[in-house]
């Protein structure tokens, strides 16, 4: 069974990987989608559209694509690195509090 620290570390790595994809990921497939009249589902399944926050097709035609904010993703990556990779500070604080209460209960 995984410990809470292992689960927290795995979650931190997934969060960091997601922010890295948002900050550094390519937009070639999104541009390709923008210039496609009627994309088929097979083509959409093969596209990397991770960086897209929203897609709209206005009534007048065309397509609007809104991307996630790369600057915010970079800031979040910086914050993760400044906290020493501690992606869940409240959880860590609760762990330390419980640990200190346990030590006091043991006569330490």
Per-residue pLDDT of the chain (108 residues; tens, 9 = 90+): 677 778 888 888 899 999 999 999 999 999 999 998 888 999 999 999 999 999 998 998 889 999 999 999 999 999 888 876 554 566 667 777 777 887 766 555
Compute φ and ψ for 59, nearest 5 degrees: -60, -30
Tell me the C-alpha to C-alpha distance, in Å, between residue 21 and each of 40, 67, 85, 86, 100: 25, 12, 17, 19, 38
Which residue range forms the structural domain that includes residue 11?
Answer: 4-105
Contact 44, 58 (CB under 8 A): no
Total domains present in the chain? 1
pTM exceeds 0.95 for this model:
no
The one-character DSSP state at 68 is -
Q: Parallel, antiparallel, or unpaired for β 52-56 and 64-67?
A: antiparallel
């Amino acid at each position: 069974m995984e410990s809470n620290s292992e689960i927290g570390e795995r979650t931190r790595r997934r969060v960091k990987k997601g922010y890295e994809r948002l900050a550094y990921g390519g937009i070639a497939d999104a541009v390709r989608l923008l210039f496609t009249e009627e994309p088929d589902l097979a083509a959409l399944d093969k596209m990397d559209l991770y960086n897209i926050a929203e897609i709209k097709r206005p009534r007048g035609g065309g397509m609007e694509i809104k991307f996630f904010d790369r600057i915010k993703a970079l800031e979040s990556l910086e914050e993760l690195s400044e906290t020493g990779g501690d992606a869940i500070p409240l959880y860590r604080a609760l762990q330390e509090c419980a640990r200190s209460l346990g030590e006091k209960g043991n006569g330490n």
